Structure 1
Amino acid sequence: MKSKGLIGILAVLALLVIGFFTMSNSIVRSGNEVDAKYADLDAQLQRRNDLIPNLVEVTKGYAKHEEKIYTDIANARASMLSAKESGNVDDLSKANDQMTGALGRLLAIQENYPDLKANQNFIQLSDELAGTENRIAVARKDYNGAVKDYNNTISVFPTSIVASMRGAHKKEMFKASESAKEAPKVDFNTDSNSTDGSK
């Protein structure tokens, strides 16, 4: 009789240990998926950062008087690099919004410079940048999906107990700022010479 009770206790303990390690492994796999999706997003952001100096140089040849835009691009690029080094997702989101706004203004100036608009290097770089922006959007969606799955995994019972024991914390989504959710208003009226991308 005692041996049956001991076997029952050992079976329950074995199930608890197996359950603990199963949930622990689930948390690790989910966290690794977030890291992999972040790396994909980071690669696309880096690709955009690498394209920008070439686009700026082509544009400068035609639009020498647009110094504010070039300064904004340089500042946004520096913010992106700084945010990437810090690894803070919120900072990276804000820097991304800053870069998106600055790039929008850079691309808008082509309307005031017909020769630039027809330049093959500018066209090719603009197309590459547009493709990269699409890849960034997909990578951001994938990253946020992985973060959601991870946060759900560590929040539901009984996995939440194991997550607490492992010191797991919720991860941040890659969010757009409130201002980035509104489409920028760009005035292409050459009479106004407005190239700042907003009115």
Structure 2
Amino acid sequence: MGAIFWIVLALVLVYAITLYNSLVKVKNAVSKAWANIDVLLKQRHEELPKLVDTCKHYMQYEQSTLEKVTLARARVSEARQSHDISALGLAEGALRSGLGQLFALAESYPELKANEQFLHLQSRISGLENAIADRREFYNESVNINNVAIEQFPGVLLARLFNFKAFDLLKFAAAELGDVNIAQRFKA
């Protein structure tokens, strides 16, 4: 009878260790997913001033659009540095809107559209936008896996015991979820 008790205890202990390691793994996957987004946001953060400076030479009458992009860039940076996921989602929506308007307005400036630096920056930023969108999807999936793992039984017992926390999903601004009004983007 004593041997069975020790065997059962050993199996429970092995299971608890395996479950704990699994919780650590999913928590670290969220951190890794966030780090991937952070790298891309930093790269875009460095490219945007170059784009705005290039556009300033050609778009003298579009200062409000350039300022909108600059302010949105600052908000994204603040939210990223403070790890405020909800503020980041809103700031990202404003930045994407401003960039969309900037690229649409660039169509009215043939010299700007022909500028190699502008074309390179536009392509680079568009590529970064696509990569950020992919990484946001991966981040949200990692958050979902973590949050489910710490709420399911028996993981919830270990999660509470070792203070594992849920993470917030990176939500998108309502404007990003709706249909894009292309005609509106071409209005000055």
Q: 1:116 is matched with which residue: 103, 109, 112?
A: 112
- 1:99-130 Cα deviation digits (max 9, x unpaired): 11111111111122111111111111111111
User: How many residues are treated as equivalent by the alignment?
Assistant: 188
What residue is the counterpart of 1:71 in the other structure? 67
Matched, 1:160 2:163: no
Matched, 1:61 2:64: no
Checking the alignment, whether the CA contact within 8 Å between 1:108 and 1:186 is kept in structure 2 is no
Tell me the distance in 1 between the aligned counterparts of 2:65 and 2:179.
Answer: 19
Q: CA deviation at 1:184?
A: 3.4
Runs of 4+ in 1 over 6 A off after TM superposition: none
Tell me the distance in 2 between the aligned counterparts of 1:189 and 1:81.
Answer: 25
Q: 1:150 is matched with which residue: 123, 146, 149?
A: 146
What residue is the counterpart of 1:133 in the other structure? 129
- 1:59-90 Cα deviation digits (max 9, x unpaired): 00000121111221121111111101211211
Which TM-score applies when normalising by structure 2? 0.93
Checking the alignment, whether the CA contact within 8 Å between 2:76 and 2:88 is kept in structure 1 is yes
Checking the alignment, whether the CA contact within 8 Å between 2:69 and 2:95 is kept in structure 1 is yes
Over the residues paired in the alignment, what is the CA RMSD in angstroms?
A: 1.7
What residue is the counterpart of 2:24 in the other structure? 28
Which TM-score applies when normalising by structure 1? 0.88
Identity between Structure 1 and Structure 2 (%): 29
What residue is the counterpart of 2:168 in the other structure? 172
Larger Rg: 1
Q: Which runs of 5+ in 1 are unaligned?
A: none
Tell me the distance in 1 between the aligned counterparts of 2:181 and 2:52.
Answer: 22
